[in-house]
Amino acid sequence: MGERFAGSQAATRAVRAACAVAPPAAALAHIGPAASWLPGPRRRWLPGLAGRGSPCHVALTFDDGPDPVSTPRFLDALDALGVRATFFVLGENVVRHPAQAREVVARGHELAVHGWTHDRPWLPAPARDARALARAAEVVADVSGRWPYWYRPPYGILTSGRWAAARRTGLRPVLWTAWGRDWTREATAASVRATVAADLRGGGTVLLHDAGHASAPGSRRAALGALPGIVADCRTARLTVGPLAEHGVAGAPPSRP
């Protein structure tokens, strides 16, 4: 309920902001696709965008990195659990911390694109969106040795311009089916685990954060502390955990080396 309410509030603010500087029709055409952020419609009508995959598998994903302090702790925790994941990285962070991005790949994880910066695209800027997304994909390809496949925009806001930019860049948008609300000041390991568990199903995609661009200070500790319990919950339910590359999302390649 809270997620749906917050999503509708965000969509309303987006339309108002866009309408302030653009004709209403153009503003709605720009921001309308962002309604896919709402979890109910997305899960029901856009399962591929929601990250629905094999019913025996859960995709584990992280946003906002790489970060030279927090990301290595997540990599160590994932090694200890014997789990691989997909890391949606920001282009500007990859440029600042290329060694850390390479370490993500060296540890067997998948790199995907989260954008160049962690911004909210309320105003139409298709040319800027196209340049920024292509630039982010290029720096990810430079450090990983292969062109990325997945794209998740900051805040899950998919405008028409970002949809078009993703298509031109050869990226597939994917959001999530469960998240931990691990960016909040009140987040704890227990709360993150419980929030994920509430929506955890076979075939789902879990969203957590290994770095904190739009997060309360120290909130990454909550996600890190929740990881063992989340993986244990999946294994108790006889679900394997891994990256999106192994998730079997409809229309995606069966696997990527």
Alpha-carbon span 246 to 257, nearest angstrom: 10
**pTM of the full structure:** 0.84
Residue identified by tokens 């911390």 is: 97
Q: Reduce the DSSP state of residue 122 to 3 states and report it.
A: coil
- Determine contact, residues 234/196, Cβ cutoff 8 Å: no
Q: 30, 114, 118, 209: which is the annotated catalytic residue?
A: 209
Q: Tell me if residue 57 is catalytic.
A: no
Main-chain dihedrals φ then ψ at residue 230, nearest 5 degrees: -65, -45
Residue type, 186: E
pLDDT at 23: 53
Query: DSSP character for 109?
Result: P
Alpha-carbon span 40 to 88, nearest angstrom: 23
Q: Is 6 left (phi over 0), alpha (psi -120 to 50) or beta?
A: alpha
- Determine contact, residues 120/155, Cβ cutoff 8 Å: yes
In 3D space, the residue among 196, 240, 233 whose CA is nearest the CA of residue 54 turns out to be: 240
The rounded Cα 80 to chain-centroid distance in angstroms is 23
pLDDT at 257: 42
- Determine contact, residues 209/182, Cβ cutoff 8 Å: yes
Q: Tell me if residue 209 is catalytic.
A: yes
Alpha-carbon span 239 to 58, nearest angstrom: 7
Residue identified by tokens 């055409």 is: 29
Q: 57, 63, 210, 213: which is the annotated catalytic residue?
A: 63
Q: What is the mean pLDDT of each run of 10 residues along the chain (257 residues)?
A: 40 45 47 50 70 97 96 98 98 97 98 92 78 97 97 91 94 96 93 97 96 72 96 98 95 62
pLDDT at 4: 33
Domains of the chain: 46-246 (3.20.20.370)
pLDDT at 10: 47
- Determine contact, residues 96/213, Cβ cutoff 8 Å: no
- Tally of CB atoms within 10 A around 250: 8
Alpha-carbon span 170 to 147, nearest angstrom: 9
Q: What is the pLDDT of residues 14-67, one digit of tens each?
A: 444 444 444 554 444 444 444 454 566 555 656 889 999 999 999 999 999 999
Alpha-carbon span 233 to 18, nearest angstrom: 42
